[in-house]
Structure 1
């Protein structure tokens, strides 16, 4: 199954009523694209993507390839068609200062890169976030953004953390048209990246 005919921008909105890192993905008209649930108490990351909040149909599964996520990669699997789209790979040391990920296709060939736009936003978010009371409001004025570029050097997507309490909302916009299968690969990669980056603060 591929995600197609999507009306951008897409909203990634975390639920604050559950202990798990669950979030909705909706389009510009408020229609469901997917409902994402991260399984709790797992040594390896395990994420299920459902059709909507009813969780009546599992669409995709994302699983980490190792326990320690410093250089982990995440396999992106389509449960409907029983196929592997590829994987998201974190860029180790480079991600300490500024988030950096590779998106690889099913043949393990580099297809896209995800790069945080400003290392300073991350730095100040982490620094100010430790200050009592003031740190609670960093989600309103320190919001990172990420750009997805292809191997051709073109920028295809922009992901932004939106002003919100507890950093619970992200927005994804498509900058230029892209093949449906590649679009699904990127969206699956970004929803996993959002879980990882949000956990890091």
Structure 2
């Protein structure tokens, strides 16, 4: 399964009517790209990607692997053929200061890297968020962004958290063209990263 003919920017919009971390991915015309549902009460992350909110067709599944040396990785499975699609790996020590993830293909070869653009945004959000009343509005002016690059430093995508009271919307832009399979791998990696970053605050 490959996500094809994506019309950017893509919107990642979390639902506020469910207890689980569900969100829709739609294109610039409002058409569904996918519906993401994180299973609740799991010791390790378990995420299903559906074709839309009706959940009639499962496209991909992302599951956490074992923690090794303070790094965590998340395997992506193409549910059409049951094969490994790739892996998202969080770089533990590097992510303490500024979030950093590696995107690996089905052969565990490094394809892309996702890096937070400005670590101070997260730090200020943590400090100001503790201030009564003022902290409620950090979602309007402290919004991180993340850039996807290859090993040569060429930029392919940028994901931004959009201003909102409860931080429930992200927007993804493609900066340059990319192979369809790699594009799907990056989009899957970013949707998993969004879930992880929300958990971290």
Query: Which TM bucket (shorter chain)?
Result: over 0.9
Q: Is the 8 A contact 1:75 1:84 kept in 2?
A: yes
Deviation at 1:69, TM superposition (A): 10
- Partner of 1:93, secondary structure, is helix
Aligned match of 2:48? 48
Q: Is the 8 A contact 2:8 2:174 kept in 1?
A: yes
- Partner of 1:61, secondary structure, is strand
Distance 1:27 1:98 in 2: 28
The answer to whether 1:74 aligns with 2:98 is no
Indicate how the Cα distance of structure 1 residues 143 and 190 shifts in structure 2: closer, same or farther if over 3 A, else same: same
Distance 1:180 1:59 in 2: 15
Aligned match of 1:139? 139
Aligned match of 1:14? 14
**RMSD value, Cα:** 1.3
Distance 1:9 1:66 in 2: 33
Aligned match of 1:149? 149
Deviation at 1:22, TM superposition (A): 0.2
Aligned match of 1:38? 38
- Partner of 2:166, secondary structure, is helix
Aligned match of 1:104? 104
Aligned match of 1:196? 196
After the TM superposition, which segments of 4 or more aligned residues of structure 1 sit over 4 Å from their partners? 67-70
Aligned match of 1:119? 119
Q: Is the 8 A contact 1:12 1:24 kept in 2?
A: yes
Deviation at 1:66, TM superposition (A): 2.2
Distance 1:78 1:135 in 2: 41
**Structure-2-length-normalised TM-score:** 0.97
Deviation at 1:135, TM superposition (A): 1.1
Aligned match of 1:186? 186
CA deviation string 1:74-120 (max 9, x = no partner): 00111013221110000101111110000011111110000000011
Distance 1:199 1:3 in 2: 26
Distance 1:156 1:143 in 2: 20
- Within-5 A mapping of 1:150-169: 150-169=150-169
Distance 1:41 1:132 in 2: 31
Q: Is the 8 A contact 2:25 2:34 kept in 1?
A: yes
Q: Where does the alignment leave 5 or more consecutive residues of structure 1 unmatched?
A: none
Q: Where does the alignment leave 5 or more consecutive residues of structure 2 unmatched?
A: none
Distance 2:121 2:56 in 1: 39
